Copies of this chain bind each other. A is one copy, B any other.
Amino acid sequence: MNNFEYQNPTKILFGKDQIENIKNEIPKDAKILVLYGGGSIKKNGIYQQVTSALKAYDFVEFGGIPANPEYAILMEALQVIKEQNITYLLAVGGGSVIDGTKFLSSAALYEGDTPWDILTQNIRTTKGMPFGTVLTLPATGSEMNSGAVITREETQEKLAMGGPGLFPKFSVLDPTVIHSIPQRQLANGITDAFNHVLEQYMTYPIGALLQDRIAESILQTLIEVAPKILKDPTDYKAAANFMWSCTMALNGLIQKGVPTDWAVHAIGHELTALFGIDHARTLAVIAPSHYTYNFESKKEKLAQYAERVWQVTEGTLEEKAQAGIEKTEAFFKSLEIDTKLSDYTQDYQGTAQKIAQRFTERGWKGLGEHQSLTPNDVEKIVEMAY
């Protein structure tokens, strides 16, 4: 096991009817900016619950944060923060709204030339404007971590940021929000969380027995509840397990003391930037090819995963490892998530070279748990995913 540091101060309020308790978490004298996305919260009752809980507060709203939170729109929200002397942010939404709010938390206190530098110069945020979240779409884990990914359409870029100042003060996880989420988004959420675990697990054995087992526990739970949620989003038991699994998949715990990969995300982000493919779906496209291309270095963990998560008991280590990849792809397909780039666009020719070129231009140091994958490797992985 590697040495590690772990700290996660976010307070979780989990369960039905927890939204009203946000009034116990936000300072009474706060001037709040409530941030949300396309307005679905006004149809499913969440907006009403939030504004009811905030009725004793001074707050203003900023809606319209899109999936893949767009820098230009966030800069408009930053303007509101400055003009209205906002002191507290409340994200009501999924990962995009929460990530956008993290950017604003950092940008609101940033003293440099332009907040874009936070993203391009990898400036870690040690202190941000305080914020809480009301999660409306389980998937990204952003509600209990300190990272964010921001998109800038102008330059077709999708860049990461983070730092200990960007943990939410609190996050409300009410599983009843799942009732009104479209099937497509539910399938994306399951796929996203599943891949988050894989990025922190599918590397090489390092003797972190408990971290491995907790990662496998999350994967097993997602597999168990996935068909139930897709069949009936009002199944509270399944929804609660789905929601908590998504949070636990990326709250930092399972990555401590172990090598992590994240190549699937790095490559997947490019597919979203180039084609606008849903984030989770880009992961389902890249992961099987990535594991196949890097089979030799990942086969021990692939076989352990096949045995423990999918109960594959027959065959050699290599055969089990191969079965692990096949089971993963079949699982994504069972969620009606396609796993080839050509399922999403007819315009895929040349994508591999284009992405490799972008990695080269950015001076990337090498992807994967060994930081050894070159732009040439990336090109081959993307080609395998056509």
Contact = CB atoms under 8 A, between A and B. Distances in A.
A12 interface: yes
A209 B5 CA distance: 27
B9 A5 contact: no
A237 B9 contact: no
A220 B225 contact: no
A245 B210 contact: yes
Given A207-B241, A221-B210, A6 B15 contact: no
A221 to B, nearest CB: 5
A227 to B, nearest CB: 14
A14 B3 CA distance: 5
B7 A12 contact: yes
Interface of A: 1-18, 207-211, 213-214, 216-218, 220-221, 224-225, 237, 240-241, 244-245, 248, 256-257
Judged by DSSP, the binding face of A is mixed
The copy count of this chain in the complex is 2
Contact of A7 (B11, B207, B221): B11
Contacts of A248: 210
A242 to B, nearest CB: 10
A117 to B, nearest CB: 27
B210 A218 contact: yes
Nearest to A8: B8
A17 B4 CA distance: 11
B8 A13 contact: no
Contact of A9 (B9, B15, B16): B9
A135 to B, nearest CB: 14
A1 B12 CA distance: 15
Contacts of A12: 4-7, 256
A248 B254 CA distance: 12
**Of listed A3, A207, A218, A237, residue having the most chain B CB within 10 A:** A3
Contact of A209 (B1, B3, B4, B241): B241
A205 to B, nearest CB: 10
Nearest to A167: B9
